[in-house]
Amino acid sequence: MSRWTEGAVPSQVGRTVLITGGNTGLGFETARMLAQAGATVVLACRNPARAAAAAARIQAATPATPATSGTPATSGTSGTAGSRGRVDVVRLDLASLASVHEAADQVRDSYPAIDLLVNNAGGVNPRYQLTEDGFERTLATNHLGHFALTGLVLDRLLPVPGSRVVTVASIGHRRGVIDFDDLQASRGYRFQQAYFQSKLANLLFTYELQRRLAAAGAGTIAVAAHPGNARTEFGRDMSGVVRVAMSPRLRALTWWLMQSPQVGALATVRAATDPAARGADYFGPPGRSQFTGYPVRVESSARSHDPEVARRLWAESQRLTGVSYPVAAVRPGRR
């Protein structure tokens, strides 16, 4: 296949997808494509009203047929090739462990099986903020909240053939360093470094999760993706220069630097649905810069593949969140 487009997405009829931050931008486009392919999509979002509006927009564009209407679909539900999935909403604030637990409980009660977990939500805070749990907010939203959520619902994925955990990273991870001496940035906050650290954490988490899944003989795989540079609401709290660069009105000048959220989301969708994807695959735009383009397999930084750092981050994330996983740790030296 020369390039992965929306038309390449295989049927997702009968599959259940849980996606964080699916009400806007890349998450919305990911949810839309999966719903149009037939999946039952659960939008886990901080703002229920915005999530409900997004769900209505997706549902209006992909009206349910009798094959998918009614009770929520679960893995193995049959449908026709023309079926379109339903869209549900769960309230989730990744910056609050209490909210993560409440959302996970609701998901577990409503969906006995999950085929895809898409850890999509992300953000960056220009000013230093601590969450109610005492975590730096960017790290909490981008990494710790997803670490907790994944651990709390993983047993809903493990029995499902072909299930996946997809985590959305960033090309910014290349500039990231995990500062174990000051993980919460209490000794001087620089929002760029906080963001880069959290995005590196996303990849370290993905690769360590894949090692643990493989060691346990699980069929579930962990994969990652990044959208390149996409024009979304992500930059609304950033500097004026960044907001101008992301403006759709300048696409004729910034086409080489920025792409639409529809194309940016294709990396996540490919990671979630490509039948040829393997555990620890990483998808993003092609080329040296990986700014724009249709997704291919790409390489992440050497830091992201350091197993010692990954194990240490895993242990610290487990300590901070209090969430353990139903898969065993990998012994040092085992790959």
What's the burial of 81, exposed, middle or buried (CB within 10 Å: 0-12/13-18/19+)?
exposed
φ, ψ for residue 30 (rounded to 5)? Answer: -60, -45
Residue that the structure tokens 């555990």 belong to: 279
With contact defined as beta carbons under 8 Å apart, do 9 and 110 qualify? no
Distances (CA, A) of 73 to 15, 64, 77, 92, 260: 7, 12, 6, 21, 31
Residue that the structure tokens 């300590």 belong to: 319
Q: What share of the chain is helix, strand, coil (3-state, %, to 5)?
A: 45, 10, 45
Q: Which two tokens stand for residue 316?
A: 């610290």
Give the torsion through C-alpha atoms of 176, 163, 308, 97, to 10 deg.
70
d(CA 233, CA 21): 12
Q: Is the C-alpha dihedral spanning 233, 193, 291, 37 positive or negative?
A: negative
Give pairs for 126-130: CB < 8 Å, separation 24+: 126/191, 126/237, 126/238, 127/189, 127/191, 128/185, 128/189, 130/184
The active-site residue out of 111, 195, 282, 294 is: 195
Count Cα atoms within 13 angstroms, Cβ side, for 120: 34
- Whether residue 294 lies in the annotated active site: no
The three-class DSSP label of residue 168 is strand
One-letter amino acid for residue 194 of the chain: A
Q: Which two tokens stand for residue 200?
A: 């590196």
Annotated catalytic sites, by residue?
195
